[in-house]
Structure 1
Amino acid sequence: MKEITPNNTNTTNNSKPMQQRKRKADTLGYDLNLATSSGGETAEKGGDGPQRRLWVKDRSKDWWDKYNSADCPDDEFRKAFQMGKQTFDTICDELSASVAKENTMLRDAVPVKQRVAVCIYRLATGESLRLVSKKFGLGISTCHKLVLEVCSAIKDVLMPKYLQWPNHESMSVISDEFETLSGIPNVVGSMHTTHIPIIAPKVNVAAYFNKRLTDKKQKTCYSVTIQGVVNANGVFTDVCIGWPGSMPDDQVLEKSALSQRADGGLLKGVWIVGGCGYPLTDWVLVPYSQPHLTWTQHAFNEKIDEILKVSKDAFSRLKGRWSCLQKRTEMKLQDLPVVLGACCVLHNICELRDEPVEPDLVNEVVDDDDDEMVVPEVALRSEFASKARDTMAHNLLHHNHAGTSIL
């Protein structure tokens, strides 16, 4: 490779291939900045002074330096990252051992805070990698790699701590909170399934085709699913991520670890409340879906709706905080579960630390899941559950716990 010095004005043909390769590299997002001085040059001591040996790209980090400064107001930081500086610092501390890299002779490692910030900002805004790259002064490919690395660390380090199925003691507390809310006993979770838009995958494309969303938007849509169970405070206790968008809610449930947990007897004597897209089973409690409901059944459905609202609102806050969930992502299909799981974990951390989410962001969430649910072919799968639901409906009405809008 021809060495180029600051005073070299040689314009022979030997320099043209180098310039062409540089332009091509910039277009493809390659990071040629192997080792830079403060001026963005690769320096070498000796001779008559510093000499530039490689083409490099001098990237500004002014935007990130502003938000990384102690003088940055917390409100301004929260608007960019959907969390306050203390919550962000806590996440960085917990992930530090997993995401930190050592400096090498060729370059200084990207600091932990900047690594985590790239990931969270990308999830919070859904901005393109090119825009994220400009704001953080890093290469496009570097930003993409950082997002995946930090999301993987969140899954490995933070998910076991912040997204757990409740133990027996916690179940009792959750049950009491849901009963206070609705009057329905032994409810330990509110369940909902949402769809995340994706570009058409290269393989098995028909499985990811979302007919309901396609009919609604009048354009071809593809998606993957997130099935989530939340406690009475809207914190996720279980998620099942990544099944194709053509799969109805009851089939996603059947394939989930939650269903396996129930088959193993771990949900005996408790209920998880779901919408009409789920079947009525020994552990899944759903509204009455037949036409011409009685007053008792309608009043029961009103109380079930109060429980379901908890999970629907949680998903609205999830999508409001992490705008990447509302946009068709260019991420590879195999990377999506880890990224979507990281969003759920970060949601829980924000909820547990009382991080507010801007109402405008929540109101902007447009969810196809508010449409009429597709009732399973076999909606009633437990005679026990059918009788138990009738008993609960009767008790709610006659013990003044039921709603009064229909009465």
Structure 2
Amino acid sequence: MVLVDDNYCFNYVDVGSKGRFSDGRIFRNSRFCEALTDKSLNIPENGIIVADDAFPLTTQIMKPYKKRNLSMPERIFNYRLSRARRIVENAFGILAARFRVFEKDINLSPPKASKVVLAACSLHNWLRKSNDRNYWANGIVDSENLELGTIAPGKWREITQGLTSLRADRSTNNPPKNATNLRDRNCQYFNGEGAVPWQEKMI
């Protein structure tokens, strides 16, 4: 489980949970969840963490509305959220495309495999920040054609087999009221003063 910034870098990496565990269980048992709970994680003022449906909706973690009977404002909110979440998918995709060790099972002991993953994430960050053109070629990440309302897949998708979608955590179906209110306020913002001209084309 990772936390990715807007520069496609891994700011937090938690490796080593058993594959049979649900995504929600991995999150609840992580140091990341502990830091969110005791408020020791330094999140910028008014900042939120954008997440998929596998994670709980809280005042710190924002996830989309459930995909049934959505109003147009809710669909626009989901698009704007997915636009941000796509950065995470692209970061994982580039990591898997550039470090071929991830193309198959890592035939190492769990502690050594964890070190390989952490090393790859560190190297990815260094190469990203150093603007290495061989590592970060034009078109490597997904891009949007705002005139046509389409998304052009990044070149990493031609190299990898794609990424598995996270499984929704059924224990998070009843989020706290203050979290749903915050999501509704963000929805109003993206459909009001925070609207962008192309968002309806992308629905």
Which residue, 195, 199, 202 being the options, matches 1:401?
195
Counterpart position of 1:365 = 160
Describe the superposition over 1:287-342 as per-residue Cα deviations: whole angstroms up to 9, x where unpaired. 11141111111000000011101111011111111110121121112311111111
CA RMSD across the alignment? 2.1
Residues 234/295 of structure 1: CA separation in 2 closer, same or farther (3 Å cut) = same
Secondary structure of 1:243 counterpart? coil
CA contact (8 A) 2:59 2:182 kept: no
Which residue, 182, 188, 196 being the options, matches 1:388?
182
Describe the superposition over 1:69-126 as per-residue Cα deviations: whole angstroms up to 9, x where unpaired. xxxxxxxxxxxxxxxxxxxxxxxxxxxxxxxxxxxxxxxxxxxxxxxxxxxxxxxxxx
CA contact (8 A) 1:279 1:376 kept: no
Letter in 2 for 1:393: C
Q: Distance in 1 between matches of 2:190 and 2:156?
A: 36
Counterpart position of 2:102 = 325
Q: Distance in 2 between matches of 1:240 and 1:376?
A: 22
CA contact (8 A) 1:280 1:386 kept: yes
Name the TM-score, length of structure 2 as normaliser.
Answer: 0.80
CA contact (8 A) 1:319 1:365 kept: yes
Counterpart position of 1:308 = 85
Offset of residue 253 of structure 1: 1.2
Alignment of 1:3-18 (within 5 A): none
Counterpart position of 2:111 = 334
Which residue, 6, 9, 12 being the options, matches 1:238?
12
CA contact (8 A) 1:298 1:406 kept: no
Counterpart position of 2:40 = 266
Name the TM-score, length of structure 1 as normaliser.
Answer: 0.42
Q: Distance in 2 between matches of 1:332 and 1:391?
A: 47
Is 1:377 matched with 2:171? yes
Letter in 2 for 1:282: T
Offset of residue 375 of structure 1: 4.3
Give 4+ residue runs of structure 1 displaced > 6 Å after superposition.
Answer: none
Q: Distance in 2 between matches of 1:399 and 1:256?
A: 36
Give the percent of matched residue pairs that are identical in Structure 1 and Structure 2. Answer: 18
Q: Distance in 2 between matches of 1:272 and 1:400?
A: 18
> Structure 1: which 5+ residue stretches go unaligned?
1-226
Letter in 2 for 1:238: Y
Please tell me whether Structure 1 or Structure 2 has the larger radius of gyration of its CA atoms: 1
Q: Distance in 2 between matches of 1:247 and 1:281?
A: 22
Q: Distance in 2 between matches of 1:230 and 1:363?
A: 22
Counterpart position of 2:147 = none
> Structure 2: which 5+ residue stretches go unaligned?
141-154
Describe the superposition over 1:41-77 as per-residue Cα deviations: whole angstroms up to 9, x where unpaired. xxxxxxxxxxxxxxxxxxxxxxxxxxxxxxxxxxxxx
Counterpart position of 1:254 = 28
- Greater length-normalized contact order (CA 8 Å, ≥ 6 residues apart): 2
Secondary structure of 2:108 counterpart? coil
Residues 352/299 of structure 1: CA separation in 2 closer, same or farther (3 Å cut) = same
Q: Distance in 1 between matches of 2:123 and 2:174?
A: 36
CA contact (8 A) 2:65 2:74 kept: yes
Residues 272/332 of structure 1: CA separation in 2 closer, same or farther (3 Å cut) = same
Describe the superposition over 1:160-203 as per-residue Cα deviations: whole angstroms up to 9, x where unpaired. xxxxxxxxxxxxxxxxxxxxxxxxxxxxxxxxxxxxxxxxxxxx
Letter in 1 for 2:36: A
CA contact (8 A) 2:52 2:166 kept: no
